[in-house]
Each structure stands twice: as structure tokens, then as C-alpha cells.
Structure 1
Amino acid sequence: MFKHLFKLIWKKKKSNFLMMLEIFISFLILFAVWSLSFYNYRNYSKPSGIDHENVWAAFIDFNTESDSLKTIYRDLIRQKIKTFPEIEAFSFSSSNLPYSFSSSNNVINYKNNSTLTEMMNVDPTYPDVLKMPLSEGRWFTEADKVNKIRPVIITQYLKEKLFGNENALGKIIGKDDGRRQVVGVIGHFKFENDFQPESACLIQPLEAWNSEMLIRVKPGTSVETEAKLSKELVQLGKDWSVEIQHLENMKANKNRIIWIPILILLIVCGFLIFNVTLGLFGVLFQTISRRKQEIGVRRAIGATQSNILWHFVGETTVITSFGVILGLFFAVQFPILNVFDIEALVYVTGIVLAVLSIYILVIVCALLPSKQASEIYPAVALRED
């Protein structure tokens, strides 16, 4: 049977090649869509490691370049904030707050390993504001600041990059004046958006020049409290400026930057697949309409409706397999070459889902024309031809 199918396919190789090319292009599109969708779904489903609800971000400009004055101003702000009963916890931070559009990174070294790492400077109260649990070790305290070697918290991803399966606690990273000692490890910390993959981040004690803040307020705190806080902070210094944003809104804005392009891509790919589906549908109808004499002869010598139906479905499936095999050749290069530094599982899942999708798509397109072909009476088919 397969030998007969291959003969028929080869006899119409020109039209079948065009169909195979459509299948190949459709497979690559579906592979890209499924891989991207699975990659972002996996990232989205992982915990962020922070609680952003009821947290405000305060962007403060002290209008001075003096680090000593900034230290004094921060103390004034701390005293003022403590007078607000609505505020549960607060922490000064570097400008690269979670879900902000600011970034600060550096290469962190340990022996022969090095990783580009996001660097955050914060108060010891930082985990109280974001409710960040540690998977190992402890958080640094005010007492740790007097140590010559700075205590730091690292993410699990950075730990694996630098130390592998070794215990990270107590290890010294960096060189010379940039030496740091790991005192704690965070399991998950998505500080950019919900679709962020596991990444390298290092959190260390506050620097003299940092002036941004994170503030946790009690649930139900009104906008009047926000306006009052902003007004009183501005009055503490000369020509200060204070802008307060809600971390929840900042997170929504960063997520929107990711999911809107993805949605547009899915719509475009869906439109392309729809057009390919219509093309396949039309090609199959045209092919079968030109083969009525062949169908009539097969019915006349005893072929049943079921035989005709599955013959055309099988023929279409074989042609599809050629296109899929060609697509697989290109698709498997992605996990082999580790393209975009993404886990092989993402690409393998994309390949499997693309294969299943393309076969389902083609079989659905082939069923109606094949069913109509199987219902042709021999006498009608032979008389028309």
C-alpha cells in the first residue's frame, strides 16, 4: 500500500512539492509559536519571590551630589515615615527597584566562573517590605556593615552559575576592594516582570548615594495618605522632588511590554496558519476533483468508501511527513546549538506540539474532501470523464 502511495505522490511531484513546502513553512511557524508560548508560560508560572501588593515606590531627588548630605536626609526621612501609622515597613534602595525601568549590573567572579549580575543596594529592612523568603542563610543586618567584606544575598540562579552544587554560604566572591561574602540565598526573585526567566541578582547593603524607597502600607490605605506623605517629604528639604508610584501598576506596565508583542505575534502567526489551512483545503479539493476517473475505477473494482477515504487521508499524511521531516531538521538545531541560551526542554516541547498541531491541521483539512471523494459513484465518475 505504501509503495502504491509513493508512486502516486511521485507522479504528481510538482503539486505535491508545493504542498510539502506549505507544510514545512507551517511547521516552522508553529514550532516558533509553541516554543515561545511554552517558554513564557513556564516563566510566568514560577513564583516571583516577592509580594508587591500594598507596596509603594518613592523616587526621591535630594537635589545634591553630596553623599554625606544624602545620608543625613535619609535619616530625616526615616524619622518622618515612622510617624505614619499606615506604614508597616520601608527600605531605601538603589534606583533599580523591582519593575522599574532602571538597571545596574556588573560581572561577578568566583574562581574561573563569571556571570553578568544585577546589583541592588538596599536597607536590611528590604525583605520586610517585599516579604522575601530566603531558601538558605540569613539576611544581612546593620551590624554587618562594619565588616571589611560586604555581606550579600544572591539568587539561586547566580549560586548555580558560580558554585554549581557547592554550598554558597560563607563563600567570598569578587576581588580586592570588591570582595563580598555570601550570607543568604533567594530561591526565586523576578524583579523585572512576570515573564522573566531565572536570573542572576546580587543584593548588598545600601550605598551612600542611593535615595529611592520601597514602602509597605496597610491594606486599604487611602490616596490621601499617599498625598500627605509626598507633601511632608518634600517639605523636609530644599528643592526636593518626590514621586510615588504603586508597585502593582509598575508591574502591570512591565508585563504589558512583554505580552502585547507576544499577542501581536500570535495573531499574525494565527493569520498565516489560517491562510495556509485555506490553501491546503483548496489544493486537496482541486486534486481530488481532477482524480474522479481514478476514484471511479477504484470503486468499480471493489474499493469501499472507507478505503477511498483513508487512501486520500493517508496520501496527505505521507506528503505532510516529508514536510515535517524537513522542518525537524532545522528545528532540532535549536536545542543542539543551545540557541538563545534557552533550555532544550523548551525547544523539544515546541517540536512535539508543532508536530501534533500540523498533523491534526492537515488531517482535518483532508477529511472533508476525502469524504466527498469516497461518496462518488463509479458510474458518475466514469461518465463525467
Structure 2
Amino acid sequence: KYLMLHHLLKLIWKRKSRNMMLSLEILLAFIVVFAIAAFAVRNYQLYQMPIGFAWRDQWSVNIRNAQPIPNDAATYDALKRALLELPEVEKVAFTAMAPYELSRMNAYYSQPDGSHRVESDSLDASDDFFDTMQMTPAQGHWFSKADDAADAIPTVINRRVADKLFPGIPAVGQVFRAAEFNGTPRRYRVSAVVEQFRAHGEYMDPVNLVLPRFVPGDRETAMTIMLRVKPGTPREFESRLSARLKREHNDWSFVISPLSEARKSMHKLQMLPLTIMSVIAAFLLVMVAFGLFGVLWQNTTQRIPEIGLRRALGADAGHIYRQIIAEQMLLSTAAMAVALVLLVQLPLTGVFEEALNWPVFFTAAALSAGVIYLLSLLCSLYPGWRAARLSPTQALHYE
């Protein structure tokens, strides 16, 4: 077997100028397939992670108004009581924006002395937000009216922020501040820590997140209402909900959406790059397949005298068949080895951070190698069969 491998490598090396372009095509195809495989594997990996909130039986109402709405407790309290009068509504909460929206707000935070500076997404939430979204704290407790007299803004943070702001110590009860703020920096106190809250859903990479307590009149207006409705509430509920909202504030505009619909729209948008990349890769692989098949056909034709001589010396048809396929597999292996040497630099240097972790890299590499090996095998089957069925007499008289 060693002698056979050595012989095949010598044959490939002698035709290195012919094989160079073919190797480059295989290398390029491998890199493209790897990119798609890595994207798909990472999305699958993300989909298995918890998102941190419930989306079933959740509705969002976005308030759209040309003029600023009154930012006072009476307005929000009246709106909440009116919505809870609807038999379908179980919980009502207010927040800056609903899950599965494209918008994001971020800010910089640090410890009171300015150390451990962290950039994080920020999402104001009312006291009932966590119960409405059916969230569970990993540590601590949700903020409530008992925090009205707090000396710092009660805040929920996720595990990523807790580990970065307060490494090695329990985060609950700790104080931090806004790192960039005109005037006196706002102070926050950690009420609870959650493991995850991925507002854009299952295909969102984990991010740093801070959820300060929203108190009407204190800071910015919360323009989104979150509703938890009874299981099985039909879409027709939207008209009754809209009528009830208009009865409260006929001069306001409302955009109502079940979170399940927003989730579907977000998933379609997040899967669009994978779809586009897959179409491009399919065309590329077809082109590579045609090129590979054509080159193998030409190489086999040029080697007919060599094949005839080997047949005359006693090589059987199966041996010739396996040789043609083995040569192509070795050529593909060499091209993929070069590609892997280049690609392995990405997780080593951390260019894509968590998006290309080692499990994703190895799985994508294995899938890509499988695709390239299958393509090489399919393209070499017919040229190998054609070479194997030549009789020694036909091959030695070929011109």
C-alpha cells in the first residue's frame, strides 16, 4: 500500500502543472462550502440555546404617535388597567422595544471607579415585564414597587455582563454606572442576573444586555406594550384589542403584532444570507464539477498509451479503475489540506469570536470535506470506468 501511494503521488507530481488549476478550483470550492457549512452549523448551534423568554401567547403593541405621549404614571396605569379588562389578556408590561424587532440600543457601563468598561445592549423594562415574558432569574429577584425609593436604578443584567463587570464576585447587589453620560452618571444596582436574553430570537448571537427598570416620568418613554394572552387566543383578537386601545387614546396610532408572526419574519430575514450563499455555492460546485469532469476526461485520454502498457503488464481493469479514482481523491485531499491551513487561522486568531468556535470549525470542515470527496468521486467514476474498459491492444495502438 505504501508503494502504491508513493507511485500515485509521483504520478500527480509529474503532472503538477496540469493539476494546479484543478487544485485551485477544488480549494476555492472547499472554502465556499466551508463558509456555508460554518454558517449553517453556527445557526444550528444557536437554535439549541435558550433565548431566555417565551414567545408563544405573546403580543406586542407599538405606539406610533407624531407627538410625544405623556410620560407619567397615570397614563401608563390607566392603559394597563384598560387592557387587563379584556378577558384574553393575562399580563401587561411596558418596554422600549419588543423582541424580534431589528432595533437595538446600546451604551457603555463600568464599575463606579470607571474600571471594567463594557459595551452592552440596553432595554428598559417595567416591573411586570419579566413575569409577562415568563422569564426566570438565575440569581436575585425581579425589581418591583419595593424599589421605588432605591438609591440606584434597579437593573437586571445577563450572565455575560455580570462576568465582565464583576469578575469573580456575585453580581447581585453590586452597583455600576453609565460610562458615557453628560452630567452626573446614572447609577444602577443589580437586582437579578439572567442566563440569556436574545431579543432577536433563536439565531441571534449572545450579546451583553442590561435591562434597567422603567419608571414612568423618570426617563425615556416606553413606546411598546407587551401582552401575555390566554393560550389559543385567535388572530381575530387584534380587532378587539385595537378597538380597546382606540377607546383609551383615539389620537394615538398602534401597530399590533403577535410575537409568533414577528418571530417568523425575523427567521426569514436571518436565513436570507444562508439562502443566497447556498445558491451561489450550488452554481460554483456545478462549474467545478464540469471542470473537474472535463479535466479528468482529458487526462484519461492523454494517458491511454500509459494505461495500455499497464494492462499489457498484467494490471486488471479494477486496478486501473481504482487508480484513476485514488489519484483524484489524493489531489482533492492536497487541495483541502492547503485550504484548512489557511482556514484554521480564523479560530486561532479569534477573528469571528464565538461565531467560529472550534466545534463549528471541525463540523464545518468535516461536512465540506465530505461534499468535496463526493464531488470528486462522482466526477471520476465515468473517466475511470472508460479507462478501465480499454483493452491493451486498443490502448497501445491509440494515437
TM-score by length of 1: 0.92
The reply on whether 1:152 has 2:151 as its aligned counterpart is no
Question: Which residue type is aligned with residue 183 of structure 1?
Answer: S
Deviation of residue 15 (structure 1)?
1.4
Q: Is the 8 A contact 1:58 1:213 kept in 2?
A: yes
Paired residue secondary structure (2:190): strand
The reply on whether 1:132 has 2:120 as its aligned counterpart is no
Q: Distance in 1 between matches of 2:388 and 2:250?
A: 87
Question: Which residue type is aligned with residue 151 of structure 1?
Answer: P
Aligned pair partner of 1:344 in 350, 353, 357: 357
Question: Which residue type is aligned with residue 178 of structure 1?
Answer: R
Q: Is the 8 A contact 2:318 2:388 kept in 1?
A: yes
Q: Distance in 1 between matches of 2:73 and 2:149?
A: 16
Alignment of 1:1-385 (within 5 A): 1=3, 2-61=5-64, 64-65=67-68, 68=71, 70-94=72-96, 96-110=97-111, 112-174=115-177, 177-208=185-216, 209-223=221-235, 225-237=237-249, 239-341=251-353, 342-345=355-358, 346-385=360-399
Q: Distance in 1 between matches of 2:17 and 2:89?
A: 74
Q: Distance in 2 between matches of 1:223 and 1:40?
A: 30
Q: Percent identity?
A: 28
Aligned length, in residue pairs: 383
Deviations 1:216-244 (A, max 9, x none): 11123345543233223223246222222
Question: Which residue type is aligned with residue 364 of structure 2?
Answer: G
Q: Distance in 2 between matches of 1:248 and 1:50?
A: 13
Q: Which runs of 5+ in 1 are unaligned?
A: none
Deviations 1:327-367 (A, max 9, x none): 12221111122112234312333233323332232133223
Q: Is the 8 A contact 2:95 2:126 kept in 1?
A: yes
Q: Distance in 2 between matches of 1:360 and 1:13?
A: 23
Question: Which residue type is aligned with residue 80 of structure 1?
Answer: A
Q: Which stretch of the first structure deviates more once superposed, 124-133 or 336-345?
A: 336-345
Q: Is the 8 A contact 1:118 1:201 kept in 2?
A: yes
Say if 1:25 and 1:225 are closer, same or farther in 2 by CA, change over 3 A. closer
Deviations 1:188-231 (A, max 9, x none): 22211321011111112114322320011112334554323322
Q: Which stretch of the first structure deviates more once superposed, 259-268 or 367-376?
A: 367-376
Residue in 1 aligned with 2:181? Answer: none
Paired residue secondary structure (2:397): helix
Q: Is the 8 A contact 1:115 1:161 kept in 2?
A: yes
Q: Distance in 2 between matches of 1:369 and 1:340?
A: 41
Q: Which stretch of the first structure deviates more once superposed, 106-115 or 240-249?
A: 106-115
Deviations 1:45-95 (A, max 9, x none): 222222112211112246654755x4321121122123222211010111x
Say if 1:320 and 1:354 are closer, same or farther in 2 by CA, change over 3 A. same
Deviation of residue 27 (structure 1)?
1.3
Paired residue secondary structure (1:153): strand
Paired residue secondary structure (1:185): strand
Question: Which residue type is aligned with residue 323 of structure 2?
Answer: H
Q: Is the 8 A contact 2:126 2:215 kept in 1?
A: no
Paired residue secondary structure (1:122): coil
Question: Which residue type is aligned with residue 184 of structure 1?
Answer: A
Q: Distance in 1 between matches of 2:390 and 2:89?
A: 79
Deviation of residue 249 (structure 1)?
1.2
Q: Is the 8 A contact 1:31 1:331 kept in 2?
A: no
Q: Which runs of 5+ in 2 are unaligned?
A: 179-183
Q: Is the 8 A contact 2:36 2:274 kept in 1?
A: no
Q: Which stretch of the first structure deviates more once superposed, 56-65 or 370-379?
A: 56-65
Q: Is the 8 A contact 2:61 2:224 kept in 1?
A: yes
Q: Distance in 2 between matches of 1:41 and 1:11?
A: 44
Q: Distance in 2 between matches of 1:319 and 1:102?
A: 48
Question: Which residue type is aligned with residue 344 of structure 1?
Answer: N
Q: Is the 8 A contact 2:38 2:356 kept in 1?
A: no
Q: Is the 8 A contact 2:84 2:92 kept in 1?
A: no
Say if 1:108 and 1:45 are closer, same or farther in 2 by CA, change over 3 A. same
Paired residue secondary structure (2:336): helix
State the superposition RMSD in angstroms: 2.2
Paired residue secondary structure (1:113): coil
Question: Which residue type is aligned with residue 260 of structure 2?
Answer: E
Q: Is the 8 A contact 1:335 1:348 kept in 2?
A: no
Q: Distance in 1 between matches of 2:153 and 2:142?
A: 12
Deviation of residue 382 (structure 1)?
1.4
TM-score by length of 2: 0.89
Q: Is the 8 A contact 1:74 1:211 kept in 2?
A: no
Question: Which residue type is aligned with residue 100 of structure 2?
Answer: Y
Q: Distance in 2 between matches of 1:167 and 1:130?
A: 25
